[in-house]
Structure formats: structure tokens, C-alpha cells
Amino acid sequence: MQHETSGGKDSRINIPDINIRLPSEIFYEVLTLALAHITSSIGEINTTTPLALGAVCSWWRGIIWASPLLWTDIKLHISGSRRAETQLSLLRDWISRTHGQLLSVTIRADPSVGQMENPYRDCISDILRLISKISSQWRAIDMDFPMYRAVRASLSFSGLPNLVSASLCASSKSDGLPFLFFMQFSDAPQLRELVLDGAEAVKRAQILDWKQVEYIHINSCNDYQCPLLLRVTHNARHLKFENIFPMHTSFSLPLLIHDAETVEILTDKPDLPISLISRFTFRSLLDLRILLSCEANRLFLPPIIALITRSSCPLESLTLKFGCTIPFEEDLIELLRMTTSLTSLNLILPASNRETIASGLSERFFKSLYPAESAFVQILPNLQTLIYEGPLLVSSETLQETLKNRWSPSDASSRIKTNPNANYISRLNTVSIKSYNSLGVQDDCVLALKALRDEGMQISITMNGETCC
């Protein structure tokens, strides 16, 4: 291609010719990678859907039309307008090209869907029947749309033999999820991941035992409903609680969960962790994550201590994220003293606490990691990874000495043998510390920390925005 520049001379620009044909196998891989990272919706204008790409030229169209795997991601936003008729036609065309491949299906809808006065209600029901008819091809289903009575009958599945993941949301504008809708999931032998969003979804899901499910994500309900659901889904190994609100009502005894290995709590309500974890006992808990996006109160850590005590679990990893303007270290040390099996600690105090230096880790914490003095009780003897973000109230010398001793535990053992509170300690392999304040690290301490890094310790220390090591 040529064009005239401002100097009056022709300049040749090399533009790739769209008709240059790569080998079909390579071109197919390019399309697969492109479509995998783009969200596309049936019935909406998007230049990266298989339908749009197939309109580029006959050669592209021939490859795309003959490649069923390019059509296995169906994202359908149902419209309560005339566009529903177009969507139905496109959906039939789309499904015909899947040739029985397993599908990931996402369904959303306009608020008007299913209302009795909607003139396109029959067309919308036909869309849902068509989706339900191919339920045997579902690998993953994500449903979040109003379940009005007018559309419920359209959701009659033809079996779910290949379903691995299900995300079900009860819209606040719906009439509610029917029990018969959930009963269909009893015939899903491969189902491993279950997301329930909304109090109505959590309530209806209690009719099934979900014994095949390994991962459960409960979202937007009250904490009283959580144990009611988990009474019947007691085989799940991974639990996630998000946007749960506390009810401040209690059961007579905490619910005993035998198989859960990972528990994650995400909330912006300071009372939620206290209320929620008091409802459970986790015998097999290995990984506990509590991420609080607000300031914690004084009662934040004691319920966690109580949970670990009654669970007698072999906890290996603990992640705590919370805002705190009051001293918490005493409760933290008590918690860590009881979790001798812990190998990984991730403690994050958000940046909003930069001015609250009194709430950080002090000399007491670091000296308890290698109790050379009898005044300190040893904590975390099996710790291998320490990640901390927040204020520090410790001298650079103590920090350097602690890391040195935990990197060479055999050398440190000779120094603590006179302390009756000390036990065997393992090697600390990974340390990441990001502090909002400066310790005034001396050059000799920096050299000692870099020496540990040279010996093999994975170490990163940042003080007040400056990297020390």
C-alpha cells in the first residue's frame, strides 16, 4: 500500500494481507487463544465471536464452522424485547456447530424476562427450553436471571451427566427458585464445584446432600443458613464464605465438619468472622483464610483461637487480613502458640494503618520465633513461609538475628537449649516483609540479610517504600 507523505514522496507501508493463509492447524490455534480471552455474548455485537470472525472471508468461515471447540462457550444475555427472536435463531445456529462437545453456559437476563405482560415471553421460554434440552452437554452452568413462574417450566433438564461446575443465583426480583429446579441437580454425578448466591438459593439447595461436591462457595446470605446447608453437604473439602451477614443467633453446638481442608471468609462486616466461625468445628482444616476489608474489633482473634482449640486440626497455612488500630499482638501470639503445625503465615494490615504504629509486630513476636531467653515462649516451630505487610516495632538487629537463626535452625538450637520453653525449630525458607515505617536498617544488617539471600533464603524486605533486600 502506498500513500503520499507531506514531503510529496511515496512511502510504502507493509500491512499484513488478510488473505495470507497460515496452515489450518496454526490458524485454528490462533483463533482458540483469541476466543479464550474474550467475553462474547450471543445476540450482541462483538467482533470477536465465532460468528463475527466467520464473516471475514470464506476461508476463515470454513475453518471456524468446522471447529466445534470454538463454539463451546455460550454466554447468553436474554432480552425481554424483539431481540429475543434473533437470539433464538442465533442460538440454534450456535448449538448446531458444537457437535456434542461439552459446553460452558452462562445465562443472564433483562428484568422484564418472564413477566406476564412481556409479548415475547413464549420466545424466551423457547430459548430456555433449547438450553435445557442440551443439558447433557453442560460442563459448567452459571445462571443468574429472574425465575418467574412464567419461565420455570422451561427449565426442565435432560440429565446432567457431565456437569462439573454450577453457579446458581436467586434474583431479588424473582418469585424464588423452585425446589423441583434443584432436584434436577441430584442427577449430576460429576459435579465438583457449587456456587450459591443469595439466601433463596442457599435455602432451596438444602434439599440435596450434594455429596459429590468438593468446593462450595456461599454468597450473600446470613450466617445462620450456612450450617443448615453444610449439614447436608458435609463432604466438601473447600469452603468459601463471601458477603455473609451475621444473625447473632446460635445453635446448641458448633456443627462438626470432618472433611473441609480449606476455609476462606471474605467480608466487610467486623462481627461476621466472630459469628460465623463459632458455628463450626473443622477436624481436617489445613488452610484458613480470613480477609476482612474493614477495621477489626478487639474480639477478632479470640474466636479464631477457640476454633483452633476445639477443632484440634492440623492447620498448615493461615492468612489474616484486617484493619486494626488497637494492639493485637498478644492475641496473635496466643493463636500462633497453639498452631504448632503451621508452616505458612500470611498477615496483612492494609495501608490505611500506616499511621497506627502501635498495632504492628514487635520485638516480642520475632524473639518468640527463636526463644533464646526464658521470658519468651516459642511459636511457629514448623514455619517455612512468613509474609507480613504492616507496621514493625522491632529493631533491625533483632529482625536480622531472627531470620539468621530460623535459616540455620541447627545453629540456633545450640543457643536456645537452656530455654525450657524452646523446642526443635525448622528452617524458614521464605520471608516477605513490607513495612510502612523505616527501621533505620544499618549497612551491616543489610549485608547480613543479603548473605542469607545468597545462601538460598527467598527474602524480600521493603521499608517505607524502599527495598532493603
Q: What is the pLDDT of residue 126?
A: 86
Select the more confidently predicted residue: 125 or 385. 385
Q: Are residues 5 and 11 in contact, defined by beta-carbon separation less than 8 angstroms?
A: yes
Domain residue ranges in the chain: 26-70, 353-469
From CA 198, how far away is CA 243, in angstroms rounded?
10
Q: What is the pLDDT of residue 321?
A: 93
Tell me the pLDDT tens digit for each residue of 2-43. 444 444 555 454 545 555 667 777 777 777 776 665 544 444
- Asked if the model's pLDDT at residue 105 lies above 80, the reply is yes
Cβ within 8 Å of residue 437, ≥6 positions away: 354, 357, 360, 391, 392, 463, 464
From CA 84, how far away is CA 459, in angstroms rounded?
57
Select the more confidently predicted residue: 38 or 132. 132
Average pLDDT over the chain reads 81
Q: How confident is the model at residue 169 (pLDDT cuts 50, 70, 90)?
A: confident
Select the more confidently predicted residue: 166 or 208. 166
Q: What is the pLDDT of residue 5?
A: 45
H or E element that contains 257: strand 255-257
- The backbone torsions φ and ψ at residue 329, rounded to the nearest 5 degrees and listed phi first, read -65, -35
- Asked if the model's pLDDT at residue 208 lies above 80, the reply is yes
Residue 172: exposed, middle, or buried by beta-carbon count in 10 A (0-12, 13-18, 19+)?
exposed
Cβ within 8 Å of residue 444, ≥6 positions away: none
- Asked if the model's pLDDT at residue 89 lies above 70, the reply is yes
- Asked if the model's pLDDT at residue 138 lies above 90, the reply is yes
Mean pLDDT over residues 58-76, rounded? 84
From CA 338, how far away is CA 342, in angstroms rounded?
9
Tell me the pLDDT tens digit for each residue of 335-351. 999 999 999 999 998 76
Q: Which of 298, 251, 242, 289 is nearest to 270 (CA)?
A: 298
- Asked if the model's pLDDT at residue 1 lies above 50, the reply is no
Q: CB pairs under 8 A, 24+ apart, for 414-420?
A: 415/370, 415/372, 416/370, 416/371, 416/372, 416/378, 418/374, 419/371, 419/372, 419/373, 419/374, 419/376, 419/378, 420/374
- Asked if the model's pLDDT at residue 403 lies above 90, the reply is yes
The percentage of residues in the chain with a pLDDT greater than 90, rounded to a whole number, is: 35
Q: How confident is the model at residue 264 (pLDDT cuts 50, 70, 90)?
A: very high
Task: State the distance between the two ends of the chain, measured CA to CA, in whole angstroms.
Answer: 54
Q: How confident is the model at residue 272 (pLDDT cuts 50, 70, 90)?
A: confident
Q: How many CB atoms lie within 10 A of CB 378?
A: 20
The secondary structure of residue 352, as a DSSP letter, is: G
Point out the least confidently predicted range of 203-207, 278-282, 442-446. Answer: 442-446
Q: What is the pLDDT of residue 135?
A: 93
Q: What is the pLDDT of residue 235?
A: 84
Q: Are residues 264 and 289 in contact, defined by beta-carbon separation less than 8 angstroms?
A: yes
Q: How confident is the model at residue 84 (pLDDT cuts 50, 70, 90)?
A: confident
Cα angle 404-406-407, degrees, rounded to a multiple of 5: 65
Select the more confidently predicted residue: 379 or 181. 379
Mean pLDDT over residues 154-158, rounded? 79
Point out the least confidently predicted range of 155-169, 258-272, 364-378, 407-421. Answer: 407-421
From CA 309, how far away is CA 278, in angstroms rounded?
12
From CA 299, how far away is CA 273, in angstroms rounded?
10
Q: What is the pLDDT of residue 172?
A: 53
Q: What is the pLDDT of residue 45?
A: 34
Q: Are residues 167 and 198 in contact, defined by beta-carbon separation less than 8 angstroms?
A: no
Q: Return the top range by mean pLDDT from 132-136, 274-278, 406-410, 438-442.
A: 132-136
